[in-house]
Chain A
Amino acid sequence: MTITTAPAGVSLRGVGRAFGDHVVLRDIDLEIAPGEVVALLGASGCGKSTLLRMIGGLDLATSGSVRVDGHDVTGIDPRCAVVFQEPRLLPWRTLAGNVALGLPRGLPRNERDAASRQWLAEVELHGFADHRPRQVSGGMAQRTALARALARRPGVLLLDEPFAALDALTRLRMQDLVEDVQRRSGTTVVLVTHDVDEALKLADRVVLLGGAPTGVSVVLDVPGDRPRDHHQPELAALRSELLAGLGVPRRTPLERETHAR
């Protein structure tokens, strides 16, 4: 089975979101090219998840326009698929049954089942199709959630801190998996994270969100081809810039050397 999708572009123009009088996001302008991987980086509670939800149509902007593939987003968007921070699997369904939620409606039962199993194989979960969510580990559950999103063949894959609740090793594996799946499917990815290294490892561009109300502080291109190692020296300067932008400045190795002299 090919997992190729038709990647979609995302265009945010003057996007704002207020809850009552409380303005969370203001004047967000961002163009995301089809097939691009963009990380939205920001401190906790800055509204980065809200921005992601507005692209998927789970939340609607109070000002400005959100467009996917040139069409305004007015509700839940079939071109987008979301992976949440928690796996959010239906506990009464098997893993295959959960993946089926992402498949088109009205498929015959046997086709649906076969497709679910193939998507599970894509996230290295062959053999676990008949397991229940509570029988598998957190990492496997999150991979199932990824398979469910991929089954939708999304133009834009929206990842809302999907690795935040995983242990460090599982997180590294999941990052590799997402990188691999993105490369093979070509889908556009918007990744919300507060992890600078994760953003540098996976993204083509990093969008740093900040201020009150939150706006785009800086947009940085990440040099080098993926898969990337975030210890690459050319990323060190970017890393300190982003950490400083998040309010936790760190010295780069170069600065440390200069300082020691």
Chain B
Amino acid sequence: MTLSGAAEEVRERPATTPRRRWTPVAAALSLPVVVIVAWQVAASSGAYSAAQLPPPLSVLDALADLAGDGSLWTHIAISVQRVLIGFAAGAGLGFLLGAAVGLSPGVRAVVAPSIAALRAVPSLAWVPLLLLWLGIGEGPKITLVAIGSFFPVYTTISAALAHADAHLVEVGRAYGLRGGGLLGRIMLPSVAPAIFSGLRLGLAQGWLFLVAAELIASSMGLGFLLIDSQNTGRTDILLMAIVLLATLGKLCDALLGLVEKRVLRTHK
């Protein structure tokens, strides 16, 4: 019997050229550049006062000032710390509960409706309660970030596991896997892309809830910088804080994206 594997079609992925990797970066940056130019034109046209719309360069000045006296780093550090701790707690809990609900119809029947109801509560509604229960320290802020991160992770993971590829799960069972082995070797890898999109959504929502927490009760952080600069009429600092939030949010997402790419490289 001659049965040559090489005679059959073997699909190879095409190599990517360096040129094609830079094109998306340029495309992504084109819109911010247009916005900054439009901003500069609007600010220098005289239609707005400097207090309403300071030019881009004065925002950079504000950044340099705050960086110079060191307070910028304190604000960034405390905000990042709150997001990371809150995200770890919220995403971790979301993962565990999402897995339990996704895997067990019994747990789903008992737990899922109540969590769905809790999810309907607007984020700011928690603030007074958290302040009352946890005081004005780090506790309420981290908890609010955790609440924000929890729901996207919980929702995506419970849905993904409940709809994990039944064929592959059956193969796992047919080859003697059960319980944890089935979960770790078949189910979680098969829903890994969904897990990562859940984590990225959770992280983004963590930043959202952080600003909500810091706007209301804090003396440090980027959210505090927003409300403080509004009170003192420093629109330049206000805009700077917004740009910083955008940058940090994007940076966190990009880092998680790198991890995702590395973990999912075998899924391609």
Q: A124–B171 contact, CB under 8 A?
A: no
Interface-located stretch among A21-29, A127-135, A205-213: A127-135
Say yes or no: is A105 at the interface (Cβ < 8 Å to chain B). yes
Given A135-B11, A180-B1; 16 other pairs, CB 8 A cutoff? A58-B170, A58-B173, A76-B173, A76-B174, A88-B167, A88-B168, A88-B170, A92-B192, A101-B172, A101-B177, A124-B4, A132-B268, A137-B8, A137-B9, A140-B8, A177-B1
Instruction: Assess the A135–B167 pair: CB atoms within 8 A.
Output: no
Size band of the interface chain A makes with B:
35 or more
Does A56 contact B174, Cβ atoms closer than 8 Å?
A: yes
Q: Which residues of B contact A (CB under 8 A)?
A: 1, 3-6, 8-13, 167-168, 170-177, 185-186, 189-190, 192, 266-268
| Pairwise interchain contact B167-A84, C-beta atoms closer than 8 A | yes
**CB within 8 Å of B: which residues of A?**
56, 58, 76, 78, 81-82, 84, 86, 88, 90-93, 101-102, 105, 124-128, 131-132, 134-137, 139-140, 148, 152, 173, 176-177, 180
Contacts of B176 in A (CB 8 A): 76, 78, 105
Give Cα distance in the complex from A167 to B185, angstroms: 31
Q: Are the CB atoms of A173 and B3 closer together than 8 Å? A: yes
Sampled A-B contacts (26; CB under 8 Å): A58-B173, A58-B174, A78-B176, A84-B170, A84-B171, A88-B170, A88-B171, A90-B186, A90-B190, A92-B189, A92-B190, A92-B267, A124-B3, A124-B5, A127-B5, A128-B10, A134-B11, A135-B11, A136-B10, A137-B9, A139-B8, A140-B5, A140-B8, A152-B175, A173-B3, A180-B1
Kindly state the separation between the CA atoms of A152 and B9 in the bound complex, as whole angstroms. Answer: 28
Residue numbers in A under 8 Å from B8 (CB-CB):
136-137, 139-140
Measured CA separation A180–B3 after assembly (Å): 12
* CB nearest neighbor in B for A176: B1
User: Do B167 and A91 touch (CB < 8 A)?
Assistant: no
Q: Which residues of A contact B185 (CB under 8 A)?
A: 101
Nearest Cβ distance between residue B259 and chain A, in whole angstroms?
Answer: 16
Contact A101 B189 (CB under 8 A): no
* Cβ distance A187 to chain B, nearest Cβ, rounded Å: 16
Which residues of A sit under 8 angstroms from B168, Cβ to Cβ?
Answer: 88, 90
Take A90-B186, A91-B267 as given contacts and tell me if A148 and B175 are in contact as well, using a CB distance cutoff of 8 Å: yes
Q: Nearest chain B CB to A98's CB is how many angstroms away?
A: 9
B-side contacts of A105, CB under 8 Å = 176
Q: Determine how close the nearest CB of chain B comes to the CB of A77; give it in whole angstroms.
A: 9
* In the bound complex, CA of A105 to CA of B175 (Å): 10
The list of the 4 closest CB pairs from A to B, nearest first, reads A124-B3, A92-B266, A88-B171, A137-B8
Please, how many angstroms separate the alpha-carbon atoms of A7 and B169 in the complex? 27
CB of B12 within 8 A of CB of A102, answer: no
Report yes or no: A132 in contact with B3, Cβ–Cβ below 8 A: no
Find out whether the CB atom of B10 lies under 8 angstroms from the CB atom of A137: yes
Q: How far is the CA of A173 from the CA of B4 in the complex (A)?
A: 10
From A92, A136, A152, contact of B11 by CB (8 A): A136
| Complex contact B173–A93 (CB within 8 A) | no
Which B residues lie within 8 Å of A78 (CB)? Answer: 176
